[in-house]
Structure 1
Amino acid sequence: MINGFTLHETATAPAASAEILNGVQKAWGFVPNLHRVLAESPAALEAYSTLWGIAEKTGFTPQERNIVYLAIIYENECTYCMAGHTNLSRMAKVDNAAIAAVREGRPIADAKLEALRQFAAKVTRQRGVVSQADVAAFKAAGYDNRAVLDVLVLAATKLISNYTNHLAETPNDSFMKGAEWTPPGKLKPAA
């Protein structure tokens, strides 16, 4: 148990979750600790798994999708997801300098990716309440209304994982070794 949450195996998970965990095992070759925690709630695990699949259908390239994820994770200060998505971003051939910039809260050299990073960060930080000027700047960088809404799909996906990891204090998986991250520490638990 971690912070009161069980790291489920298919044998300990509710039946509806076990089926999803088996699918994750087949697709990834292992079951990440996040999924093992989410397995406690078949609805939560299904929601995350479904949104993850839907996120692949956005109009973003794999590189753009990973920049959005990293920007959201940075704002939500999720150490588990930052470690995981750092390595997933490398696998998606995201430039190492861009990954490092997002992890450090610095601008990305590529202007279009920087506009994407900024917009995703603002949407997350301000819970979707962004100005018309923010949307206009995002569109001026080459994005459109579909991209505005696609950022929300990725934000919803990361809301489930980032918040779960905060609540459960999910331990990193072995594939994350070397990608550990210390967040800026702006978020503090409520008293």
Structure 2
Amino acid sequence: MGRAAAAEALTRVRKTLVSVPNLAKVMANSPALVKGWLALPGALSEGVIPAPVRERLAIATAQYNNCEYCLSAHTYIGAHVAEVDAEELERARDAESFDPHIAALLALSDAIARGRGRIDERQPKARRAAGVADAETAEVAGNLAPNLLADTDNEWPVVTPCTHN
């Protein structure tokens, strides 16, 4: 991969996100990866799950993955961009919410992550009982995909994963 392709990939990131997070700099080793990384969240932003819920899903996944970088980034974005209150951001770390519908989405995401793609047979019944639509179920799985682990220097205000889960 040439420097020109990497520079072009980072220019796309800057245009989309205004700044270039360190994670994007790591991914710039593959411009195709950067393109995919930008495309999936962009597409999901047009879906049925709103940004405040997507940030909570990312926080729950980051906590489960013990990823300080992702936890820090999504906590910051959740508070300052998606405008989720601090208590809900904290509850998201445990895949919980005061809102029963959001709690069901977080529980589904957590079950998919912990089951490595497989879920307990009771999960579909629980999500339907909570009013989770099929489109939301599909998007929950889609929101798991971009939450990658990488050994990346953290430029966000640090949020350390809890050790209780």
User: TM-score if structure 2 supplies the norm length?
Assistant: 0.88
User: Which amino acid counterpart does residue 182 of structure 1 have in structure 2?
Assistant: P
**What does residue 153 of structure 2 align with?**
171
Closer/same/farther in 2, CA of residues 37 and 126 from structure 1, 3 Å limit:
same
Closer/same/farther in 2, CA of residues 98 and 185 from structure 1, 3 Å limit:
closer
Residue among 43, 47, 50 paired with 2:39: 50
Partner Cα distance (1:137, 1:40) in 2: 41
Q: Does 1:96 align with 2:89?
A: no
Report the Cα offset of residue 106 of structure 1. 6.3
Partner Cα distance (2:64, 2:89) in 1: 14
**What does residue 180 of structure 1 align with?**
159
Q: How does 1:136-151 map to 2 (within 5 A)?
A: 136-151=125-140
Residue among 58, 81, 86 paired with 1:69: 58
User: Which amino acid counterpart does residue 51 of structure 2 have in structure 1?
Assistant: P
Query: What SS does the aligned partner of 2:36 have?
Result: helix
Report the Cα offset of residue 64 of structure 1. 1.5
Report the Cα offset of residue 144 of structure 1. 1.1
Asked if 1 retains the 8 angstrom alpha-carbon contact of 2:28 and 2:34, the reply is yes
Partner Cα distance (1:181, 1:23) in 2: 30
User: Which amino acid counterpart does residue 146 of structure 1 have in structure 2?
Assistant: A
Aligned residues: 164
Q: Does 1:24 align with 2:13?
A: yes
User: TM-score if structure 1 supplies the norm length?
Assistant: 0.77
Query: Once the two structures are aligned, what percentage of the paired residues are identical?
Result: 27
User: Which amino acid counterpart does residue 108 of structure 2 have in structure 1?
Assistant: F
Structure 1 unaligned residues grouped into runs of 5+: 1-11, 187-191
